[in-house]
Amino acid sequence: MLQELSIRDFAIIDEIQISFQPKMTVLTGETGAGKSIIIDALGLLAGGRGSTEFIRKGEKKAVIQGLFTLPREANTYNILEEYGIDSEDGQIILQRDLYRGGRNICRINGMMVNLATLRKVGETLIDIHGQNEHQELMKPENHIDLLDEYDKKTSELRIQYQVVYQNYRKLKLSMEKKEADEKAWAQRLDMLNFQVKEIEEADLKINEEDELVGEKIDVVGNLGNAMNELSDVSDLSENLQEINTKISDAFYSLEDAARDISDELDSMEWNGERLNEIEERLELIHQLKRKYGDTIEDILHYHSRIEKELREMENAEQNSEKQERQLSEALENVKELAIKLSKQRKKSAKKLEKMIHEQLSALY
């Protein structure tokens, strides 16, 4: 507990020392007497944010000291040991000096520490509540949350109840949605069937579009090579001088050229068909991308999602009775857990009431 508080040159306070006794201490006084200033000083001692405005006018620094005593099992000693701060006599002295230039000097049992360390220790010694925080207790809508936070078992039951209730709400909303608009349900079912079938019939493959575009480029290149071959043959047939002088060789050359032309025409006919196939496939992919996603991966992801929705809707169509039974069972689970939670809350409330009375009686 806080034993003594010393404040010097802080706000309107010149110098003051306050000794505290066991149980409760009440600070009273008219408005402006400095009650809130003492609380502000305690906040700074606990590592709160400081300001040069706290320093008394005309002074260079403000000094705040607090003497605390704690039982040996208090967690504060573990923190002090972690930072190598001596606390063998069971007393802890916090000190904070605020300078006009903005500098802060913090000490714990005479050892200089940084503000973060002072805050870590101070949080275990001082707990400050604002003057309006008690108003939360006056709002009945907050009582349930406060009670559930108090008792671990009640909190666990509340979580279980929320899970089964959400399951019940999901089933109920699904049935209400179906019953509210049977026409829209049927239209949605037809649309999903069409979309799933359309994407499945396309039999899309990852990276297929890139491969088709690459093959298209190869096919067009082969056609270009065929045209060059035909051009060479044409030049060869127009060279009358060479044919007249080398009639024998020309005969065999033309015969070979005829065979080459036939082969190339066969190749061109095959490539033309393949090119058409590629163009049609790319157009199909383009149409599907306009409807279902920017990439083949997006289309396949969309297919998985609507296929799942379609299965759920078909199951709902086929299992209306089963769904009603599930809803009835879910409602029973909600009621059962609600009763358990209510009984546990009443039990916890009595326990909390008893502990509050014990705490209040200790203040007198």
Q: Write the pLDDT tens digit of every residue in 151-176.
A: 889 999 999 999 999 999 998 888 88
The answer to whether residue 96 is domain-embedded is yes
Are 185 and 289 in a shared domain?
yes
The answer to whether residue 186 is domain-embedded is yes
The per-residue pLDDT for range 124-148, each reduced to its tens digit, is 888 887 666 555 667 788 888 888 8
The answer to whether residue 339 is domain-embedded is no
Query: What does the block give as tokens for 184?
Result: 């829209």
Instruction: Give the chain's mean pLDDT.
Output: 81
Q: Structurally, how many domains does the chain consist of?
A: 2
The partner residues of 68 in beta bridges, in order of sequence, read: 2, 92
Element spanning 67, H or E: strand 61-69
Model confidence at 112: pLDDT above 90: yes
CB 29 within 8 A of CB 35: yes
High-pLDDT (> 70) share of the chain, %: 79
- Of 94, 128, 162, the position where a domain reaches its end is 128
Radius of gyration of the chain (CA): 43
- Using CA atoms, how far apart are residues 155 and 356, in angstroms rounded to an integer? 19
Res 135: pLDDT = 58
**For the chain, percent helix, then strand, then coil, each to nearest 5?**
70, 10, 20
Query: What does the block give as tokens for 313?
Result: 């809707």
Res 271: pLDDT = 54
Model confidence at 232: pLDDT above 80: no
Are 234 and 312 in a shared domain?
yes
Model confidence at 298: pLDDT above 50: yes
| 55 DSSP assignment | B
Comparing 132-146, 178-192, 238-252, the range with the smallest average pLDDT is 238-252
The answer to whether residue 142 is domain-embedded is no
| 60 DSSP assignment | S
Are 124 and 199 in a shared domain?
no
The per-residue pLDDT for range 11-54, each reduced to its tens digit, is 989 999 999 988 788 888 888 778 889 989 999 998 988 889 99
Res 41: pLDDT = 92
Are 112 and 208 in a shared domain?
no
- Using CA atoms, how far apart are residues 322 and 319, in angstroms rounded to an integer? 5
> For 344-364, what is the mean pLDDT?
87
CATH of the domain at 53: 3.40.50.300
Are 74 and 190 in a shared domain?
no
Are 195 and 296 in a shared domain?
yes
The answer to whether residue 118 is domain-embedded is yes
The answer to whether residue 205 is domain-embedded is yes
Res 131: pLDDT = 63
- Of 99, 128, 157, the position where a domain reaches its end is 128
Comparing 10-14, 23-27, 59-63, 180-184, the range with the smallest average pLDDT is 180-184
pTM above 0.85, yes or no: no
Res 254: pLDDT = 47
Are 12 and 115 in a shared domain?
yes
Are 121 and 47 in a shared domain?
yes
Instruction: Name the nearest CA neighbour of 346 among 79, 193, 50, 147.
Output: 147
Comparing 108-112, 240-244, 292-296, the range with the smallest average pLDDT is 240-244
More confident residue, 288 or 253: 288
The answer to whether residue 258 is domain-embedded is yes
More confident residue, 359 or 4: 4
Which structural domain range is residue 51 located in? 2-128
Are 303 and 210 in a shared domain?
yes
More confident residue, 243 or 181: 181
The answer to whether residue 171 is domain-embedded is no
Res 63: pLDDT = 95
* Dihedral sign, Cα of residue 186, residue 187, residue 192, residue 195: positive
More confident residue, 58 or 182: 58
Comparing 97-111, 120-134, 185-199, 321-335, the range with the smallest average pLDDT is 120-134
Are 295 and 215 in a shared domain?
yes
